[in-house]
Amino acid sequence: MSTIKLKVEAVALDWKGTPIVVLREDAGQRAVFIWVGIGEAAAISMHLEGQQPPRPLTHDLIVLILDTTHAKVERVVITDVRGSTYHADLHLRTEGSANAIDCRPSDAIAVALRTGAPIYIDGDLLDRLDKERKESEIEFSPGATPVDPGEATVH
Q: Which residues bind a second copy (CB under 8 A)?
A: 37-40, 54-56, 58-59, 61-62, 64-66, 68-71, 85, 87, 90, 92, 94, 99, 101-104, 107
List the Cα angle 110/91/33 in 5-degree steps.
Answer: 45
Nearer to a second copy, 18 or 85 (CB): 85
Nearer to a second copy, 4 or 44 (CB): 44
Give the type of residue at 43. A
Give Cα 134 distance to the centre of its chain: 18
Nearer to a second copy, 70 or 155 (CB): 70
Q: How far apart (Å, rounded) are the C-alpha atoms in residues 11 and 20?
A: 6
Q: How far apart (Å, rounded) are the C-alpha atoms in residues 11 and 116?
A: 18
Q: How far is the CB of 137 from a second copy (least distance, A)?
A: 28
Q: How far is the CB of 16 from a second copy (least distance, A)?
A: 18
